[in-house]
Amino acid sequence: MKRRNFIKGAGLGLAASTTLAAPAIAQSMPEVRWRLTSSFPKSLDTLFGASEVMAKRVAALTDNKFQIRVFAAGEIVPGLQVLDACQAGTVECGHTASYYYFGKDPTFAFMTAVPFGLNTRQINAWLYHGGGQELLQKDLYDEFGVQHFGAGNTGAQMGGWFRKEIKTPEDLNGLKMRIGGFAGNVMSRLGLVPQQIAAGDIYPALEKGTVDAAEWVGPYDDEKLGFHKVAKFYYYPGWWEGSAMLSALVNKKAWDALPPQYQSAFEAACLEGQTWMISKYDAVNSAALKRLLAGGTQLRAFPREVLQACHKAAMDLYADTASRNPRFKKVLDHYMAFQAEQLSWFRLSEYTFDNFMLATSSGARRRT
Amino acid sequence: MKRRNFIKGAGLGLAASTTLAAPAIAQSMPEVRWRLTSSFPKSLDTLFGASEVMAKRVAALTDNKFQIRVFAAGEIVPGLQVLDACQAGTVECGHTASYYYFGKDPTFAFMTAVPFGLNTRQINAWLYHGGGQELLQKDLYDEFGVQHFGAGNTGAQMGGWFRKEIKTPEDLNGLKMRIGGFAGNVMSRLGLVPQQIAAGDIYPALEKGTVDAAEWVGPYDDEKLGFHKVAKFYYYPGWWEGSAMLSALVNKKAWDALPPQYQSAFEAACLEGQTWMISKYDAVNSAALKRLLAGGTQLRAFPREVLQACHKAAMDLYADTASRNPRFKKVLDHYMAFQAEQLSWFRLSEYTFDNFMLATSSGARRRT
């Protein structure tokens, strides 16, 4: 083996010129302590857990010199104020879903999920190699004084929990539903009354009948939140979140003050967050789904007619929003063009492979 | 903002006790230089490029103290001898596809791709949260003296280039085809004559008629290799590579000698390699496909009857191999049980969402 591990600086020049050399070495690895505020409660060990995984990686990459302390929703600021806290410098960084801030500008929704948008693979392609990160950083996040990083994904979410079956688009009319992000604006075009409710408050709202239906993420999280105890029908797909990417936000001044090595550590940790979260959800959702079904939950697919009505409402909302908001229009055009390209490729090998595997395993299941 | 960047050691205790403190600081960041041997030629900027991205990240994470020099296939050892070179310590590490070594033990195939196996999301779930990494490290890679890391994925590959159409399973009989990994053993059960040919030699073999058909990866790579110039029909899906994960291998002694901080840097870089490669392929395949189609390439889906015959041959091969190889059987059972769980979950939201999006965009395309 031709490995050469040799120590530089120490035994060589340092002892001879301590006052010059020592600060140079020490400054390259200063102690930095940051606080991260999460949008999620500790009980959600995947959404919340990702920020712990990222903080652990940053510490390991810097010999514990760069420490990020993770706080759950509400410990520093409420879960839906992570952007504000990062912007104001209350904390150096946060972990959140960008679409929580669609009230400030609906353009934020693209970075998490828009109805009938990109799936998990596709949004990563857009973010890292399709210009998505650069576009939204420059046109949106810079204005809010934060640096953006993709940092986790839930995959395609379930369509949520309903007390009554949804057989036609008219069944959505008048329904009060907890639904996240921009999707509520689509649903309201079909007469649904969307409610923004934080994770921990959804169950009591559903139990008391304050809402008739609620969606969160998927089997693993939804089981933790207990929705199956108060609603029977579990719908799919969550067409408003064909994937939902989480975001790490960093106050710009804090980011610029970091040594390049620590910037690299933070960036690498966020990339790990991406793979860690989606692979964990994929690994644990199946068993949770089985438990839910064993407990009496009934699966229902949204009828095609309902999906089509929702799709039309979404496209109409996009057109209306774009006509009033040039930033939204610019990002929408970019996103939609990219999506069309992605679908033209995914429909070949990816889709036909998955389709064959599902059909074959379904056959195997029926035979047993 | 409550950020506190304070410098530790330097101005405080170091000047007072140079001979003790200086080596302690310096040793935590020693200079380490490794060589990485890749299985791929430089021209394949995604497969080869991933190892450059990883090396760059490792350097950035260690203030350039840990440098990995990347060598293309053939510069140190041939592309199919990366495992051997890492095991022998000729190099510290390599970037390869584990299934190239299925001749040593077919169990290696699980870490890259087996016919009708896990897709990209699913193999990550298996690797990181399903016990796959631990199982194969302990039962396989340890014996070969290397530490394994997932480090990139191509996604579902195309089924390759054929001069004549494949309409029935009988059309595979007697066909000479360049096909990678374990899949050749499945194909030979249908009378196909599989050939192992390195990337750069496939085009001349196809041109001269040494082979009748050839597969590599997908539109972006295949276009670079020029197959469309000598074969007309481009088939999908590549059922033998529903995803193909790349592997970073590290000589065990070199790994154990690394400081924990550098181990963390290498691990984080491999995780980045995963996201970087698949998102790059997803971003660039679509445009390459368009160019190929504009140049006269004709897309063909493998007929269902062909897929079913190949599926049966694969399941028979697995059963036969498992009956002779207890290690293969152990991993096969683990992998197949995990796959069944994955499919039971993916068939809900992921599949129905993708299905709706593809159907809707197909309709939109037809209308224009």
- Give the tens place of pLDDT for each residue, B53-92: 999 999 999 999 999 999 999 999 999 999 999 999 999 9
Candidates A6, A33, A286; nearest CB to B344: A286
Q: In sequence order, which residues have a C-beta less than 8 Å from that of residue B348 and are 6 or more positions away?
A: A158, A236, A237, A289, A299
**pLDDT confidence of residue B81:** 96
- pLDDT tens readout for residues A211-247: 999 999 999 999 999 999 999 999 999 999 999 999 9
- pLDDT tens readout for residues A7-32: 333 333 333 333 333 444 445 799 99
How near does any CA of chain A get to the CA of B92, in Å?
7
Q: Which two tokens stand for residue B87?
A: 């095991």
If we measure between CA atoms, which residue out of A210, A108, A213, A211 comes closest to residue A158? A213
Q: Is A303 exposed, middle or buried (0-12, 13-18, 19+ CB in 10 A)?
A: middle
**pLDDT confidence of residue A27:** 58
A-chain residue closest to B306, CA distance: A356
Buried b / exposed e across A316-341, counting CB within 10 Å, b at 16+? ebbeebbeeeeebbebbebbbebbeb
- Contacts A119 to B, Cβ<8 Å: 350, 353-354, 357
**pLDDT confidence of residue B28:** 72
CA B323-B325-B330 angle, 5° bins:
90
Q: Inspect the interface and report whether the beta carbons of A348 and B11 lie closer than 8 Å.
A: no
Angstrom distance (rounded) from CA A236 to CA A297: 13
Question: B144 pLDDT exceeds 60?
Answer: yes
- pLDDT tens readout for residues A197-207: 878 889 999 99
Pairing state between β A160-162 and A233-236 = antiparallel
- Contacts A280 to B, Cβ<8 Å: 125, 128-129
Q: Inspect the interface and report whether the beta carbons of A254 and B3 lie closer than 8 Å.
A: yes
pLDDT average, residue stretch B178-199: 89
- Contacts A11 to B, Cβ<8 Å: 23, 26
- pLDDT tens readout for residues A69-85: 999 999 999 999 999 99
- pLDDT tens readout for residues B100-137: 999 999 999 999 999 999 999 999 999 999 999 999 99
Q: In sequence order, which residues have a C-beta less than 8 Å from that of residue B72 and are 6 or more positions away?
A: B38, B40, B41, B42, B48
Structure confidence at residue A344 as a pLDDT band (50, 70, 90) = very high
CA B330-A362-B243 angle, 5° bins:
55
Angstrom distance (rounded) from CA B87 to CA B201: 26
How near does any CA of chain B get to the CA of A117, in Å?
8
Q: Is A287 exposed, middle or buried (0-12, 13-18, 19+ CB in 10 A)?
A: middle
Candidates A3, A33, A356; nearest CB to B34: A3
Residue type for position B83: L
Q: Inspect the interface and report whether the beta carbons of A121 and B278 lie closer than 8 Å.
A: yes
In contact, B114 and B132? CB cutoff 8 Å:
no
Angstrom distance (rounded) from CA A275 to CA A298: 30
Pairing state between β A146-153 and A213-214 = unpaired
In contact, A302 and A235? CB cutoff 8 Å:
yes
Q: Inspect the interface and report whether the beta carbons of A344 and B290 lie closer than 8 Å.
A: yes
Would you tell me how many other CB atoms lie within 10 Å of the CB of residue A229?
Answer: 15
Helix (H, G, I), strand (E, B) or coil at A104: coil
The alpha carbon of B92 is separated from its chain's Cα centroid by a whole number of angstroms, namely 19
Question: A113 pLDDT exceeds 80?
Answer: yes
Helices (H), chain B: 18-28, 49-61, 82-88, 120-129, 132-136, 183-188, 199-208, 219-225, 252-257, 260-294, 304-324, 326-346, 349-367
How near does any CA of chain B get to the CA of A136, in Å?
17
Helix (H, G, I), strand (E, B) or coil at B160: strand
Angle between helices B120-129 and B326-346 (to 10 degrees): 120
Angstrom distance (rounded) from CA A287 to CA A320: 41
**Both ends of chain B: CA-CA distance in Å?**
54
Candidates B32, B126, B365; nearest CB to A5: B32
- Contacts A360 to B, Cβ<8 Å: 116, 311
How confident is the prediction for chain A on average, in pLDDT?
91
Phi and psi of B236, rounded to 5°?
-150, 160
How near does any CA of chain A get to the CA of B270, in Å?
9
Q: Inspect the interface and report whether the beta carbons of B31 and A7 lie closer than 8 Å.
A: yes
Question: A38 pLDDT exceeds 60?
Answer: yes
Phi and psi of A68, rounded to 5°?
-115, 120
Candidates B9, B18, B155; nearest CB to A350: B155
**pLDDT confidence of residue B15:** 34
Helices (H), A226-325: 252-257, 260-294, 304-324
Angstrom distance (rounded) from CA B211 to CA B222: 16
Buried b / exposed e across A107-139, counting CB within 10 Å, b at 16+? bbbbbbbbbbbbbbbbbbbbbbbbebbebbeeb
Angle between helices A47-61 and A260-294 (to 10 degrees): 150
Q: Inspect the interface and report whether the beta carbons of A130 and B283 lie closer than 8 Å.
A: yes
Structure confidence at residue B366 as a pLDDT band (50, 70, 90) = very low
Phi and psi of B43, rounded to 5°?
-60, -25
**Look-up: residue for tokens 């980011």?**
A255
Residue type for position B292: L
Structure confidence at residue B20 as a pLDDT band (50, 70, 90) = very low
Helix (H, G, I), strand (E, B) or coil at B32: strand
In contact, A55 and A71? CB cutoff 8 Å:
no
Contacts 24+ apart (CB under 8 A), B334-339: B334/B131, B334/B132, B334/B135, B335/B110, B335/B114, B335/B117, B335/B118, B335/B126, B335/B132, B338/B118, B338/B122, B338/B125, B338/B126, B338/B130, B338/B132, B339/A361, B339/B117, B339/B118, B339/B122
**Look-up: residue for tokens 């374990």?**
B182
pLDDT average, residue stretch A319-325: 98
- Contacts B157 to A, Cβ<8 Å: 349
Angstrom distance (rounded) from CA A43 to CA A72: 9
Q: Which two tokens stand for residue A363?
A: 């056959």
Candidates A158, A242, A282; nearest CB to B357: A242
Q: Number of CB pairs < 8 Å for A and B?
A: 336
- pLDDT tens readout for residues B338-353: 999 999 999 999 999 9
How near does any CA of chain A get to the CA of B224, in Å?
17
In contact, A147 and A252? CB cutoff 8 Å:
yes
Question: A104 pLDDT exceeds 60?
Answer: yes
Q: Which two tokens stand for residue A44?
A: 């959600």
To test the contact with chain A by mutation, choose from B123, B282, B355 the residue with the greatest count of A C-beta atoms within 10 A, namely B282
**pLDDT confidence of residue A354:** 97
Angstrom distance (rounded) from CA A90 to CA B3: 9
If we measure between CA atoms, which residue out of A226, A60, A192 comes closest to residue B28? A60
**pLDDT confidence of residue B198:** 78
**pLDDT confidence of residue B361:** 84
Angstrom distance (rounded) from CA B118 to CA B335: 8
Query: What percentage of chain B carries pLDDT values higher than 70?
Result: 90
pLDDT average, residue stretch B156-164: 97
Helices (H), A47-196: 47-61, 82-88, 120-129, 132-136, 183-188
**pLDDT confidence of residue A28:** 72
One DSSP character per residue, B287-302 reads HHHHHHHHTT-EEEEP
Structure confidence at residue B27 as a pLDDT band (50, 70, 90) = low
If we measure between CA atoms, which residue out of A238, A86, A223 comes closest to residue A159? A238
Phi and psi of A94, rounded to 5°?
-150, 165
